[in-house]
Amino acid sequence: MVNTGGLEPQSRLRSQLDTVLSKIPFYNVIIFSDVEEQVDYHHVHDVYADTPKQERANYPKFALYDAQLEI
């Protein structure tokens, strides 16, 4: 299991996949982030995808997440 952030460069995640995680079959690696994307064979899962916008509005820390979604 890998936890990363949408603001981290993909090159960092690719480096981890090419080094530390390279001995683990890709289908045994799950990656969580605050943005959904595809990195090579790996699907990056957005952990906040099912959090309703109305709920996120109650927490100012979600402002950056919502800004990322608009890009």
Mean predicted confidence (pLDDT) in 1-23: 89
Distance of CA 59 to the CA centre of its chain: 20
Domain extents in the chain: 2-70
| Closest of 30, 28, 35 to residue 9, by C-alpha | 35
Query: What is the C-alpha radius of gyration for the chain, rounded to an integer number of angstroms?
Result: 14
**pTM (global) more than 0.85:** no
Per-residue pLDDT tens over the stretch 16-71: 999 999 999 988 999 999 989 999 889 999 999 999 999 999 999 999 899 888 87
Q: Which residues, listed in sequence order, are joined to residue 45 by a DSSP beta bridge?
A: 32
What pLDDT, on a 0 to 100 scale, did the predictor assign at position 49? 93
Q: How many residues does the chain have?
A: 71
The greatest distance separating any two alpha carbons of the chain, rounded to the nearest whole angstrom, comes to: 42
Which residues, at least 6 apart from 16, have a Cβ–Cβ distance to it below 8 Å?
Answer: 2
